[in-house]
A and B are shown apart, each in its own frame.
Chain A
Amino acid sequence: MKRLINLTPSRGGRWLLGLLPFLLLAMLYMSLSNARLAENPNDRLLPTPSTMASSFYHLATAENVRTGEIVLWTDTFASLERIVIGVGISALIGLVVGILNGGLPVVRAKLSPLVTVASLIPPMAILPILFIAFGTGEAAKIALIVIGVTPFLIRDLQGHALRLPDEQLIKAQTLGASSWQVLLRVLLPQLTPRLLNATRLALGTAWLFLIAAEAIAAQEGLGYRIFLVRRYLSMDVILPYVAWITLLAFLLDQLLAWVSRLAFPWYHAGEGDNS
């Protein structure tokens, strides 16, 4: 008998094992749901999968009588637009400031304390300020994501820039590189894959801020819808929406991972486990 740490499941077995917890959770839900519905057929708290499917199908296909819009897609595009713009702006600022901070001690001395302090401000606490400053439109929601995510990205990239071996910076200088060229050809290309990685980690936080901002002030959006139907205890809408958001988050994450693997093969060479 091998030791436990040496036992590795086969490829097919790994799939099955990965699926098992999901199946167990699904069964648990079904049994609870059935028990409640047996007692009271009008119970709204744990709807059957078929009820959820039909509600979700309705949201995904039926046009609003007044506006002609389909609720699910309007919500999805509104939310995706906000998160992509927000995270995009954050990544850009994070990359530029991170590289400057990491590469130029003169800049780091000025900016680093500011970034550290800024990263400790709870972004939700300044959401009212954003609403006052930007109104309740798109700008405030995007600003919340940017404020929440950027300091993390800057600190992460700055750390990676500082961890690049000094030998590389010296080598570049002995090849005749100017400061600008070192930033552009040594730091930038090596930090970009790390930015993608950090962005993947930051996406979870970005979704948190997005849903929170939408819950408070919005006319459409995934977070807005969930908090709207909460008033009617519409679990048959909330649960599929949560699953939908999870799927979107997963797809965004995988997209970034795929881009990173495609564009920076040298960066992923050292990674054994790509799961």
Chain B
Amino acid sequence: MSLLAAKRLEKHYGNHVVLENLNFSVESGEFVTLVGASGCGKTTFLKMLLGTEASSRGSLTLDEKPIPNEPGPDRGVVFQKYSVFPHLTVQGNVMIADEFHRAKLLGKSFGSDKRHAIEKARARIEEVGLSHALRKYPHELSGGMQQRLAIAQALMMRPRILLLDEPFGALDPGIRQDMHVLINRLWQEQHLTIFMITHDLKEAFELGTRLWVFDKTRQDPQAPEAYGATITYDLPISRDRPSTDLQEALYQGGLKTHTQETLL
């Protein structure tokens, strides 16, 4: 039984086909990296997983049930920016998930509930290495620290799948390397299932166990909107093989469409 599965999934806005003919099944514990040219529908796909965009045709199931049509605690998310609440401290940002869960009416915990939430939040913050900044507000943190916080926040509710939308796209290369180590460690320790959109093919190879390339298989120059993108390559990545080999293989396999220009 697969965790997430799609059958002939399609998404279009009016006549504009964005995604078509998506078929896949993803097992629990996989780390799927999504690459593709800008505007090819990767983010739309992620929004369908989140539940903020409905599918137009076909089926998309999580645990054999149709994916809910609004975001929920079973699917965590980290965006490129605006992922954390600017009005809460580091601790408050992570705690809030537990408070939503326990204090239905006020959304704020008191007494022993609060102590419990703080304890839990501190464990999450410890995991991402932000224990020294518990009382800081997001604007006092660097970009990398903000993304660490966003990850800690997203993992607080133990989601079934974690969605990452170019989470490290705005970070410096050095910081990005640290974040790769972090996300890799969390993925292994907590047996997460991760979908990550990225523009960086090297990143996609390094982190993922499975690489999806989104691209159009058919192109009508007269009507560019008539055909949508689909998963053109679904590559299993083994951690033992160096990523350069795979990149080479992908090259020779003929990644010949316009994706190539953007990616390679």
Contacts and interface: CB of A to CB of B under 8 A. Distances in A.
A181 B100 contact: yes
Given A174-B76, A174-B154, A267 B87 contact: yes
A23 interface: no
Contacts, number: 83
B48 to A, nearest CB: 13
Interface stretch (A62-70, A147-155, A184-192, A229-237): A184-192
B53 to A, nearest CB: 11
B87 A189 contact: yes
B137 A185 contact: no
B139 A185 contact: no
Interface string B201-218: 000000000000000000
A174 B75 contact: yes
Nearest to B71: A173
B127 to A, nearest CB: 17
A174 B73 contact: yes
B82 A165 contact: yes
Contacts of A189: 87-88
Contact of A190 (B75, B81, B87): B87
B160 to A, nearest CB: 11
Contact of A174 (B108, B139, B159): B159
B260 interface: no
A185 B108 contact: yes
Interface in B99-123: 99-101, 104-108
B229 interface: no
A265 B137 contact: yes
A171 B86 CA distance: 13
23 contacts: A165-B82, A167-B79, A167-B81, A167-B82, A168-B85, A170-B77, A171-B79, A171-B84, A172-B96, A172-B100, A174-B71, A174-B73, A174-B76, A174-B157, A175-B73, A175-B156, A176-B72, A181-B104, A184-B107, A185-B99, A189-B87, A264-B87, A270-B139
Interface of A: 165, 167-168, 170-178, 180-181, 184-186, 189-190, 264-267, 269-270
